[in-house]
Amino acid sequence: MSQIITFSDQAKLRLKEIMSSKEYQNASGVRISVKSGGCAGMTYEMNYVDQSIDGDEKIEVDGVNVFIDPKAIMYLLGTEMDYKTDKFTSSFVFNNPNETERCGCGESFKI
C-alpha cells in the first residue's frame, strides 16, 4: 500500500527544523487533519501534539512523527505536502489531486 501522504524535500526539512526548535522539543510530532470550514467547505489543519490520538495513522518522516487523523485519510490519499517560501509568506502547502475546487485565498478546498 502506498503512503497516505508524501512529503517534498522542502517539507521534510522544515518539519525537522521546527521539531528540533526549543519551542517544540517536547512535542511527539505533528498531527494532520481535515476540518469542515472555509468558503470551499474543508480546510487542512496541522497541530503539534504531545501524543497521538487513538486511531491515528503514524508516519515517520526523516525522524519526525506525523500523525494522520483517521477521518482525514480519505481526503489526503495521494496528497503531497510541500513547503513554499515567497517574497511575503512561507507555509506548508497541500497538493491534493482529489480537490475539485479551491477557494480564492487557498485556505479551503472541496473534494
CA distance 86 to 31: 25
Q: Band the pLDDT of 1: cuts 50, 70, 90.
A: very low
CA distance 24 to 99: 31
- 48-79 tens-digit pLDDT: 999 888 999 999 999 999 999 999 998 899 99
**Contact indicator for 14, 82 with CB cutoff of 8 Å:** no
In DSSP terms, 33 is beta-bridged to 45
| Other CB atoms within 10 A of residue 73 CB | 16
Its domain, for residue 18, covers 5-110
Q: Considering the chain, what is the average pLDDT of its residues? A: 84
- 73-92 tens-digit pLDDT: 988 999 999 999 988 888 89
**CATH code for the domain of 16:** 2.60.300.12
CA distance 14 to 37: 26
Our count of domains for the chain comes to 1
- 29-45 tens-digit pLDDT: 999 998 876 565 678 89
